[in-house]
Amino acid sequence: MFAFPTQPLTTVQQSIPLDRIRYNDQGLVPAIAQDYLDGTVLMMAWMNRDSLQKTLETGECWYWSRSRQELWHKGATSGHLQKVRSLRYDCDSDCLLVGIEQIGDIACHTGERSCFHQIDGQIQPPPADTLSQVFEIICDRRDRPTEGSYTAQLLAAGDNKILKKLGEETAEVVMAFKDDDPEQIAGEVADWIYHAMVALAHHQVDLRDVYRKLQQRRR
Ligand SMILES: N=c1c2ncn([C@@H]3O[C@H](COP(=O)(O)OP(=O)(O)OP(=O)(O)O)[C@@H](O)[C@H]3O)c2ncn1[C@@H]1O[C@H](COP(=O)(O)O)[C@@H](O)[C@H]1O
């Protein structure tokens, strides 16, 4: 559990207590870098007090390189900087979670986005948030339609069918709120979100662009 809710860095910057962080025997604290839009876990590296301070001052990720024994300004040589969008620490202050916006290429160690391996050895994208996972499947149905797939059928039918469904689902959402039944409301909103994502996929609009808009509006 992380102590800070989603706060912009500017808020955290003023309040993060550098000395409250519990550094290990080597003066280091693990920092997990996560895509600020969809929560994809990109990499883990180490920070010390100085690198954390520099990260807070500059709004860009500075780590401590254990192999080179020096501060490491991530992406400084390649131009692929990690811009910090949120910074939180866990409940016992011994781990940092850094929400980053990647400038340029992907920010993990190897440069691949899907760099996490399942326990059985398969490479799989790290778990992002639920909407992103469902959107990924919807786009896959669009690009590689499978037999018997409702989503593939909807996408093949095109705009009229998709937008008619979206309209119907909107009305059902309104009725659910009128009925004031929490279970029904959650189900109808889930239906609506799913159909909105089908429409996004059909119009080649990325869910991340929607997330970006929401992030831009945060205050
Ligand atoms: N999240 C959903 C999802 N939510 C709702 N629905 C479908 O949306 C439809 C909702 O329509 P209605 O409530 O109007 O019910 P209906 O009367 O059966 O629908 P119509 O006959 O009027 O089209 C139902 O058929 C639901 O099954 C969904 N279908 C698919 N998904 C996701 O899409 C992915 C791909 O699924 P396939 O469509 O099976 O490939 C799945 O893994 C899911 O994650």
Q: Are residues 24 and 109 in the same domain?
A: yes
Average pLDDT, whole number, for the chain? Answer: 87
4 in a structural domain: no
Q: Which of 170, 146, 157, 158 is nearest to 203 (CA)?
A: 158
- What ipTM was reported for this prediction? 0.91
**Whole domain around residue 212: which residue ranges?**
130-216
Q: Are residues 102 and 144 in the same domain?
A: no
Give the pair of three-digit tokens for residue 176. 């659910």
Cα 180 → chain centroid: 31
Q: pLDDT, tens digit, for every residue of 110-148? A: 666 556 666 777 766 565 799 999 999 999 999 999 999
Cα–Cα distances (Å) from 76 to 59, 60, 62, 63, 83, in that order, read: 13, 10, 10, 12, 11
Q: Are residues 38 and 79 in the same domain?
A: yes
Q: Are residues 24 and 95 in the same domain?
A: yes
Q: Are residues 148 and 210 in the same domain?
A: yes
Distance CA 74, CA 168 (A): 48
* pTM assigned to the model: 0.82
Beta bridge partners of 116: none
Ligand 1 pocket test: which of 170, 194, 197, 207 has the largest number of ligand atoms within 8 Å of its C-beta? 194
Q: pLDDT, tens digit, for every residue of 54-112? A: 999 999 999 999 999 999 999 888 888 899 999 999 989 999 999 999 887 766 676 66
pLDDT at 152: 98
- Beta carbon of 151 within 6 Å of any ligand 1 atom: yes
Distance CA 10, CA 168 (A): 42
